[in-house]
Amino acid sequence: MSTSDHERPVRFDKSRRRVPGRDVTDWPRWAQPPSNVRCLDPSMAPVVDDIRPLPTAYIGPRLLISETSDDRARSAIDGAAERLSWTLSYENEGKDHGHRRGVQRIDISVTPGSVSPPPDGWVLLQNARALAGRESLRGVGLDHVLDMHPMESNPFHVSNPFHVSDPFHVSNPTAADLSSPVDSYSFPGSGGRQPIAYAGGAPHRLPDYAGRRPVVAILDTGCGSHDWLNDVVRTDLRLDQEVVGYDNPATDPELHGDLVGALDGVIDPDSGHGTFIAGLIHQGCPDADILSWRIAPSWGPIVESDLISALKQIAELAQRGRDGEEGGQIIDVLCLSMGYYHETPLDPQFDSPYLEALQDISRTGTLIVCSAGNDATTRPSFPAAFAPWSSGKPPVVVDPACPPIVSVGALNPNRATDALFSNTGPWVTCYALGAAVMSTFPDTFQGGLEPLARTTTAVGRSRASIDPDDFRGGFGVWSGTSFAAPVMAARLAAKIAESLAEGDDPGTAVSRARAAVEVVTATPPD
């Protein structure tokens, strides 16, 4: 994958870091949000026929076009751009990425010597639809920006300038103005991120496992150091020599807790997210091998085109693995704790590049498990809403040859009620524990907050109240559907492990995945 804005080299000379004002240009380049992130405003967005958008976040001057799109789509986009006095640049034109890439970026700029409105993907897409008809634009869509936003306890969150201008909080249905009962999950002691002491032993992993171990893959913020995970999680798996996702250690949220924001040492909102997920999977299925790739930065935004590229690489690895080819890797379950709200979720011309990438993975027999989202809404969040719907017709029909995508909402610790923050609806397959759950944190994390009190006794021993962001003990509590998904993924992996001896060809793997979903999602949590 080409270097992203999230992968720019970082100089950790904190004396040179500027405290940000409301102008994000005050931030160093590597700490800025993806360039040209915009919110689609339904009151101002162009409308064609009955295609009326809902709010979403996307990279403004860009479109994505799927490899499966025909020449009509490209002709329509080119024609519309010419009318608008815009010039299109097709990424890596003339280079063959094969099926690993899956999607091509189209960057939009003003034609030299012309005067026009600022280039915008939604405006171009709607003009192309008006010019050539909706059917011609299959496989073309916006480059959405995905988010994770677990229930986090950053005490500066209210005054953080990104919280006001961050498009995710504007485009998400309720996150811009959470009610206090929902927001309570962000507070330490009520499910917010906080360190805890764990006095038990590590999950029991059989040292001499009979047959192949189940394999669970995570695409998230990566995985940090922890005694439970160091010999269980692999973070360096590549497709041939190609990095999957990001690998610059200077921007790794599991190595460096505080990468963005004021010089305050506060751990970023999503730092530790991937390690926490890996620990939940290890608790639920100790005998599983875990693969972890990094696609998300420490403060959450994920560019859809980068995500699709990584998913295509994972699909290639999984296909080679099932076919027994060199350089492949069998994957039984893939866990995705991220999502976005599509601007036209019920439009039959729903753009397809993201779904195509997921289906390429599913066809290999890999079961995909997705978090439902933390916005206390029924509005479909994707990819979770690619799961089968219990009522009504889903916006897109998933290939019946694939095992179903599993979307997971969050339960409270009582296992009886849904967490107040959890999204819900006919597109949510099942629910698992996701509020105030315990798991692993990188054992190097120590944030900038301090204990309320500290002293030294006469015998030289240090005494202090609990440090609210010192995770060097390796364990903590957190809340979010991001964590319900790996709890369910682990249960599914454990069920799949019971029948691995039946074989690993794609047909057998798909049937095995379907059977696991049928049994596990119908079973109440333990």
SS (H, E, C) 24-80: HHHCCHHHCCCCCEEECCCCCCCCECCECCCCCEEEEEEEEEECCCCHHHHHHHHHH
Q: Does residue 12 register a pLDDT over 60?
A: no
Q: How confident is the model at residue 351 (pLDDT cuts 50, 70, 90)?
A: low
Instruction: Indicate the average pLDDT of the chain.
Output: 86
Residue 25: predicted pLDDT: 36
Report the pLDDT averaged over residues 327-334. Answer: 97
CA 43, 46, 51, 57 dihedral sign is: negative
Instruction: Give pLDDT, residue 425.
Output: 95
Query: For 146-151, what is the mean pLDDT?
Result: 86
User: In this structure, what DSSP letter does residue 253 have?
Assistant: T
- Residue 175: the pLDDT is 47
pLDDT computed for residue 4 by the predictor: 56
Measure the N-to-C terminal CA separation of the chain; round to a whole number of Å: 40
DSSP codes, 426-468: TT--EEEE-SSEEEE--TT-B-S---S-EEE-TTS-EEEPPPT
Position 173 scores a pLDDT of 53
Nearest-angstrom CA–CA distance, 88 and 106: 6
The domains located in the chain, with CATH, are 33-146 (3.30.70), 211-520 (3.40.50.200)
| pTM for the structure as a whole | 0.88
Q: Which residue in this structure is represented by tokens 């380049």?
A: 29
| Mean pLDDT value of segment 211-220 | 97
Calculate mean pLDDT across residues 125-137.
Answer: 90
pLDDT value for 344: 86
3-state secondary structure of 12: coil
Residue 215 confidence (pLDDT): 98
SS3 403: coil
Lowest mean pLDDT among 159-168, 337-346, 394-403: 159-168
Give the model's confidence band at 458: pLDDT under 50 very low, under 70 low, under 90 confident, else very high.
confident
pLDDT tens column, 270-315? 999 999 999 999 999 999 999 999 999 998 789 999 999 999 999 9
- Tell me what the mean pLDDT of segment 152-166 comes to: 44
Do residues 251 and 297 lie in contact, with contact meaning Cβ atoms separated by under 8 Å?
yes
Is the distance from CB of 469 to CB of 441 less than 8 angstroms? no
C-alpha distances (whole Å) from 226 to each of 230, 272, 308, 442, 445 are 6, 11, 29, 6, 11
Contact 366, 492 (CB under 8 A): no
Q: Is residue 158 over pLDDT 80?
A: no
pLDDT band at 34 (very low <50, low <70, confident <90, very high): low
67-71, 86-90, 194-198, 308-312: segment of lowest average pLDDT? 67-71
Asked if 294 contacts 255 with a C-beta cutoff of 8 angstroms, the reply is: no
Q: Residue 349: what pLDDT? A: 61
Task: Say whether pLDDT at 172 is over 90.
Answer: no
Residue with tokens 């009151």: 43
What SS3 state is found at 293?
A: strand
Residue 348 confidence (pLDDT) = 56
CA–CA dist 78, 81 (Å, integer): 5
Cβ–Cβ < 8 Å for 471, 272 = yes
Segment 476-484 shows an average pLDDT of: 97
pLDDT given for residue 411 in this prediction? 98
400, pLDDT greater than 60:
yes
